[in-house]
Structures are given as C-alpha cells and as structure tokens.
C-alpha cells in the first residue's frame, strides 16, 4: 500500500505460463499528498493595531504540489468591500510550489483607517484545501479617532453665530479603544471638563464577532450648557487626537441710534443725519428706508439703502442726507446681526418723521397745517349751510305759488 507523499505512476507487464509477454501498461501520474498548503503572513498579525507610517502585509502560500491557479489572496475591509489595487498597491509572484503577494506601504488617506482582513483561499493538486479560508484581521489607525457630527448640526455650527443655544451630539469612532474627554471653554475664562464617566461607550460589531467591531463613543450636551451668551470653544479629545467646535451664542439684536433727526421741520435744501450701529458680536446689515408721504396722485416715494459693516466709520457711524421736499419724509430701518437677531424701528418706536424744505410758503403751511385745515373745514361747512338755505328757500317759494 502506498503511503509516502510523492508523485507516482505504475507500470504493469504480464507474462503467462507459455512465456508470452504482454505490452507494458502504464498509469497516468498521480500524487499522494495529505498535507494542507502552508500559509505564512508577515507585516501584520491577528488583531494587530497599526498606527505607524509603515504597514506592508505579505502573504506566502506554499505546498510541494500547490495548485497555483486555485490560490486567491484578497484584502478586504470590514464592510466586505475588496480593497482595490489603486488604493493599496501590491505585486503577485509565483514559482512552481509558491504564490506570494506583497503589498506596498499603505497610502495615508482619509479612508485608509479601518478594520481589514486578509483572506487566503486555495488548495493543492491532491485537493487539500487551506483550512477555513485562512483569515487575519487587523486594524489601521494612522489618523486616530474620527469625530462625526450630524449634517444638520454641522450646518448650524458652520454659521458660527447662533441665535439659540445648540444641542450638541457628537459621535467618536475609532478602530481601537481610546481615553476620551471633552472641555467646554466660555469666553476664554470659564472651563468645564466632561470626563470619561460621562461619555456613553459602545462597540459596533460586524456580523461575526464583536472583537472585529469599531469602538464608538457618544458625547451629549444639552442646550443648558450653552444657554448664556458667549464665545464657546468645545474640544473633544481621544488619546492624541482632538476636534474643536467654536461658535458664539448671541441673542441680542443690534442697537441703532439715529442722530440729528429730532425736529419736525428743517428749513434747508439738504439735511444730514447720522446712523450709529452697535452689536455685541457681529453686525450684518441695516436696511435704511427714506420715504415721502403720498402726493395728490397717491404716489409714495421710497428709497432703500443697504448699510454693511464696511460702510461704518471708526465710531460705527454712517452719514446720510435728506433732500428738500414739499412732503413729509419718514426714516426707518431694519437691522440684523449675523446670528439672525432683528430690530425694526417701527416696533421699537425709533422711526423718524420730518419735513425738509427750503420754501417759506411750504414751511408756513406745514407749521400751521392744522389751523389751515380747520379754516378749510369751517369754510366748507359755511358754504354747505348757505347752499342748503337757498335750496330750502326756493322750495318754499314754489310751494306758496
């Protein structure tokens, strides 16, 4: 009985009792091999975590009677996606009884961190398969932890100036366990530290085993942590990696003062007035409206001017001019800051109404407008009485006839 591992072929020649010799019969070559192909992996090891600059996995599959075409060596991420050669280049080399795959040094990219596994499939010519599709799981953590904000929160924080206190939820994700904490700094003075015990931890596992999962931590901050107005800096730290969020909570609208428009009538061709705008954090713009009363045709004149921070002088002021008109003019504004706070002069009683005229007749009329209106009413009433009296007199005269 053949037991030794080797290549064999059998030749048979027979002779009968009469001395007749048969032709030689020969079997095809066959192999007796009971050994599974050997797999050697270098550069990475099972459950290893790699944070250095040099990560170069190597796989050598070897067997005396290896079926090279059956050997499949793949590198995948935990989501079961094959790592493409352009993402992590490698070379495959073959000899009579060996298949070798050598990866170059990993490229440090935004997506290079993660959980990887090397999977080796294959068999020898005798049909001995590599046991359990040999697998090595390892983790790459060159960039450290990832800090993930929801899209809505990221959009809000990117505005920097906030009208309302935010509710912050942040997720930390890493391929290894980290020591974490968060620090809230308000106006570079008040400091509050959130320790490890206040951070919720969990493991996001794949379908096969928790030890192959990502480690996740959740930071939760209520609105009350940012209720007061101020400049906030929130720093999340995981080992040597950190992420900083900066924003300002501003609930106060701009303060606007209109100067040199306290009188009702100005006897000038032009009258200059000032607008001063102050904001506790960041003024955005002021809409200035200069409107005239309706004329006899019902037309109302409106001039709109947008005032930006760059238009203000070192005293936060800008100067504007009203030109003479026979109608009263109204000056009003709507001011906004970058947090979205709004103030309207119609709401706070700061709208100004005045007459700018270089005509004495118009000025005299506007000064005694009420008196003239009263005289007009009395005159109209008198005419009405006279006409009514004539009408009654005429009807009575006709009735007498």
Work out the widest C-alpha separation in the chain, in whole angstroms: 181
Please list, in sequence order, all residues whose beta carbon lies within 8 angstroms of the beta carbon of residue 126, skipping any fewer than 6 positions away. Answer: 31, 32, 33, 34, 65
Say if residues 147 and 171 touch (Cβ distance below 8 Å). yes
The answer to whether residue 5 is domain-embedded is no
Question: Of the candidates 92, 99, 36, 95, which has an alpha carbon nearest to the alpha carbon of residue 70?
Answer: 99
Taking residue 236's Cβ as centre, other Cβ atoms within 10 Å add up to 22
Query: Do 313 and 401 fall into the same domain?
Result: no
Tell me if 12 is assigned to some domain. no
Of 196, 228, 249, which residue is a domain's last? 249
What is the helix (H) or strand (E) element at residue 330, kind and residue range? strand 329-337
Q: How many CA atoms lie within 13 A of 172 on its CB side?
A: 28
Query: Where do the H-state alpha helices sit in 73-194?
Result: 151-158
How far is 59 from 65, CA to CA, in rounded Å? Answer: 18
Same domain, 165 and 120: no
Question: Could you tell me if 156 and 209 lie in one domain?
Answer: yes
For residues 245 and 289, membership in a common domain is answered with no
Strands (E), 163-213: 168-174, 180-186, 190-194, 200-204
One domain for residues 152 and 77 = no
Separation CA 107–CA 113 (nearest Å): 10
3-state secondary structure of 314: coil
pLDDT score for 207: 45
Question: Considering the domain boundaries, does residue 289 fall inside one?
Answer: yes
Residue at which a domain ends, from 85, 105, 140: 140
The boundaries of the domain holding residue 123 are: 35-140
Residue 13 lies in a domain: no
DSSP string, 48-93: EEE-SS----EEEEE-TTB-GGG-EEEEEETTSPBPPTTTS-EEEE
Burial class, 311, CB count within 10 angstroms (exposed 0-12 / middle 13-18 / buried 19+): middle
**Total domains present in the chain:** 4
| β-pair type (317-323, 302-307) | unpaired
Within 8 A by CB and 6+ apart from 236, the residues are 147, 170, 172, 180, 182, 219, 242, 243, 244, 245
Task: Kindly state whether residue 16 falls inside one of the protein's structural domains.
Answer: no
Residue 380: its pLDDT value, please? 64
Contact by Cβ (8 Å): 36, 128: yes
Bridge partners for 149 per DSSP = 170
**Residues 135, 46: Cα–Cα separation, whole Å:** 8
- Please give the pLDDT value at position 205: 54
Tens-level pLDDT at each residue, the chain (401 residues): 556 667 666 777 788 778 787 887 776 776 777 788 889 999 998 888 888 778 899 999 998 888 999 999 888 887 667 787 778 889 999 998 999 999 998 877 777 888 888 889 999 888 888 876 668 888 888 878 888 888 889 999 999 999 999 999 888 888 788 888 888 999 988 788 877 666 676 666 544 444 556 788 888 888 888 999 999 999 988 887 888 999 999 999 999 999 999 999 999 999 999 999 999 999 999 999 999 887 655 567 889 999 999 999 999 999 999 999 888 999 999 999 999 999 999 999 999 999 999 876 455 555 555 554 555 566 566 666 666 666 665 666 565 55
Partners of 317 in the β-ladder: 276
Asked whether the whole model's pTM tops 0.85, one would answer no
**Domain-embedded: residue 20:** no
Residue 61 contacts residue 39 (beta carbons within 8 Å): yes
Q: For residue 344, what is the domain's CATH number?
A: 2.60.40.10
Ranges of H-type helices in 262-356:
345-348
Question: How many angstroms separate the CA atoms of 197 and 238, rounded?
Answer: 14
Neighbours of 8 (CB within 10 A): 12
Residue 6 lies in a domain: no
> For residue 254, what pLDDT is reported?
97
CB-neighbour burial class of residue 339 (10 A; exposed 0-12, middle 13-18, buried 19+): buried
- Output the CA angle 230-235-241, nearest 5 degrees: 165
Q: Which two tokens stand for residue 278?
A: 């102050």
Let me know whether 225 and 173 are in one domain: yes
Q: In this structure, are 392 and 294 located in the same domain?
A: no
């Amino acid at each position: 009985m053949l037991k030794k591992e080797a290549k064999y072929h059998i030749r048979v020649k027979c002779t009968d009792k009469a001395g007749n010799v048969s032709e030689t019969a020969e079997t095809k070559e066959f192999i007796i091999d009971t050994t599974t192909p050997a797999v050697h992996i270098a550069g990475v090891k099972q459950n290893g975590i790699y944070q250095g600059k040099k990560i170069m996995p190597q796989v050598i599959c070897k067997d005396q009677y290896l079926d090279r075409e059956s050997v499949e060596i793949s590198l995948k991420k935990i989501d079961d996606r094959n790592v493409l050669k352009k993402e992590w280049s490698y070379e495959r080399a073959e000899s009579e009884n060996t298949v070798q795959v050598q990866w170059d040094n990993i490229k440090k990219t935004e997506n290079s961190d993660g959980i990887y596994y090397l999977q080796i499939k294959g068999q020898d010519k005798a049909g001995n398969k590599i046991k359990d599709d040999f697998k090595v799981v390892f983790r790459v953590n060159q960039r450290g932890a990832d800090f993930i904000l929801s899209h809505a929160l990221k959009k809000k924080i990117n505005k920097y100036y906030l009208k309302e206190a935010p509710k912050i939820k942040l997720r930390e994700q890493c391929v290894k366990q980290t020591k974490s904490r968060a620090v809230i700094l308000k106006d570079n003075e008040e400091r509050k530290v959130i320790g490890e015990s206040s951070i919720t931890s969990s493991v996001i596992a794949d379908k096969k085993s928790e030890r192959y999962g990502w480690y996740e931590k959740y930071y939760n901050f209520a609105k009350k942590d940012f209720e007061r107005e101020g400049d906030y800096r929130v720093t999340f730290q995981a080992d040597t990696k950190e992420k900083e969020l900066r924003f300002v909570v501003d609930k106060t609208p701009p303060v606007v003062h209109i100067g040199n428009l306290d009188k009702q009538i100005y006897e000038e061709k032009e009258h200059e007035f000032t607008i001063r705008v102050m904001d506790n954090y960041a003024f955005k713009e002021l809409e200035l409206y200069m409107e005239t009363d309706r004329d006899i045709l019902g037309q109302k004149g409106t001039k709109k001017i947008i005032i930006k921070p760059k238009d203000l002088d070192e005293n936060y002021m800008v100067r504007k001019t009203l030109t003479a008109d026979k109608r009263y003019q109204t000056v009003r504004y709507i001011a906004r800051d970058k947090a979205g706070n709004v103030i309207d002069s119609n709401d706070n009683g700061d709208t100004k109404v005045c007459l700018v005229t270089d005509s004495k007749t118009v000025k005299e009329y506007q000064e005694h407008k009420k008196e003239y209106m009263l005289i007009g009413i009395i005159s109209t009433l008198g005419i009405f009485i006279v006409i009514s009296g004539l009408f009654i007199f005429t009807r009575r005269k006709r009735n007498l006839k």
